[in-house]
Structure 1
Amino acid sequence: MLQMPMLGAGTFRLKDDVAYQSVLTALELGYRHIDTAQIYGNEAEVGQAIQDSGVARDAIFLTTKVWIDKLAKATFAASVEESLEKLQTEYIDLLLIHWPLKNDAVPMAEYLAELKAVKDKGLVKHIGVSNFTNAQLEQAIAILGEGEILTNQVEVHPYLQNRKVVACCRTHGVMVTGYMPFAYGDVLKDAVIQGIAAKHTATAAQVVLAWMRQNDFVTIPSSTKVANLESNLAAATLTLDAEDMASIATLDRDHRLANPDFAPDWD
């Protein structure tokens, strides 16, 4: 079974032809991990880009996510079938619960049973969660069993290092996928990051991506620019030294950007 590449191309906020071109370009440049979601409204464009890329489907690790209004038993499987149709694929490599519910309008046991069911049917290769707190992750593992949840996709960047969540995930062998690695560009302006970039003749973005990789975080930055997509891929050749890593560790400041009104009470 295909392993999840550490660097993927995200599609959050990308719409219509912009989403299509971004994914097509990413695949042409060598990306083999694409991340989308039902709520992004671009699954059809992502699917078409994959089709038009000429890259074999089994060489691509494709992630999508079930939105909060589809978690009930009555709507869950149908929403996954719709995602498959839009993505023009017979299976999804990784299906995530996009956000946990703050209330028990749909019990976690119900929507996780549905998540496991689509995997058991062969529609999904791996399952996981996103934006789960430690208590919610522990609850999910109690429901599904150890080893079922591949990843918890959460906001992680040098300004929000999410150490408690990372520690909990690692205790249970759950991979951490960090989204928004650049914090909408905030960390790219940081003097420490820029200093490390100058030292290595690299870009600030490459420093952040190297930091993510060396911390064993999968990450999924999105970009519409060929130069940025190329540069992000090239970050795989950059290795930060212990001093660099220690310097970035000091930048944590609980700078959380993804915090909608339905978000859980964060760790």
Structure 2
Amino acid sequence: MSKYGEAPAVVDIRLIDQVTGKPYSLLSSVFFEEDEEPFRFKSDSFAEATWGKERCIRREALEDSVYVRDNCLVIECVITVLGQLRVSETKPLCEIDVPPPNALRHFGKMLEDTSTADVTFNVEQETFAAHRVVLAARSPVFQKQFSEPMKDKKMSRMTINFMEPVVFKALLHFIYTDSLPAMDDLNKAESNAVMQHLLAAADQYELERLKLMCARTLVMNLNVENVASALWLADKYDCQKLKEACVNFMAPSNRVDAVVASQGYQLLKRTSPSPLADVWEKRSRVRQGFL
């Protein structure tokens, strides 16, 4: 309420599943910062209190989703102010604007600068230079690989098998910047395919935050063509939230036929039939609810 007030708060913006009535957390100030203090909102600094459009959901991603029914979308916003709010009535001697943190931006530039790199990755026909100390600090898998004494103290070379260059590039981008890369040069299907492979890579290198980010992006872009493959992925890599979203998406009767006709469903049926039991059980409960 004061011009110079601050409020530690937790903000959670949710979409409501109109089939089950359960909320899905779309944006949360603690979704990615579970071990950190609550965000401090400042009344005189709007810029520092925004997340940016890159964390919002696209309109086309809502098409055919469980969050839209009869052209209606339900959004729930929960704001919890923590502790006792203390507001100073005295104007400070001077106002000093502190710019937002920029360490990740510098790390991003570090990835582009190969002059200080000490490891090179061969991924199919492409090479990527990186820094062992950064990789080891971010990934337990890389840390274990680099903990052994290196025979050659100069540039070392490693080969990454069973991964496409575009996926490994996105993996490095996250390691250095803690964010997903822009994929403006890819169409929707290509971007979704990269995100599925990136989730598998995140599981391989024990990057839990990246795994959750990929799962959230896949949930926001579910459709009849990719939901079966997403369900297979969720079952294989133990992504319970993604699995729940896929089951909810496939449950409505007006969507089942289209999903069953997709190639992804046929692959899921042959390789991992167990998740389908959850779909049919969910669909049965939905039908009983309508009856």
TM-score calculated relative to the size of structure 1: 0.25
Q: Select the structure of larger CA radius of gyration.
A: 2
TM-score calculated relative to the size of structure 2: 0.23
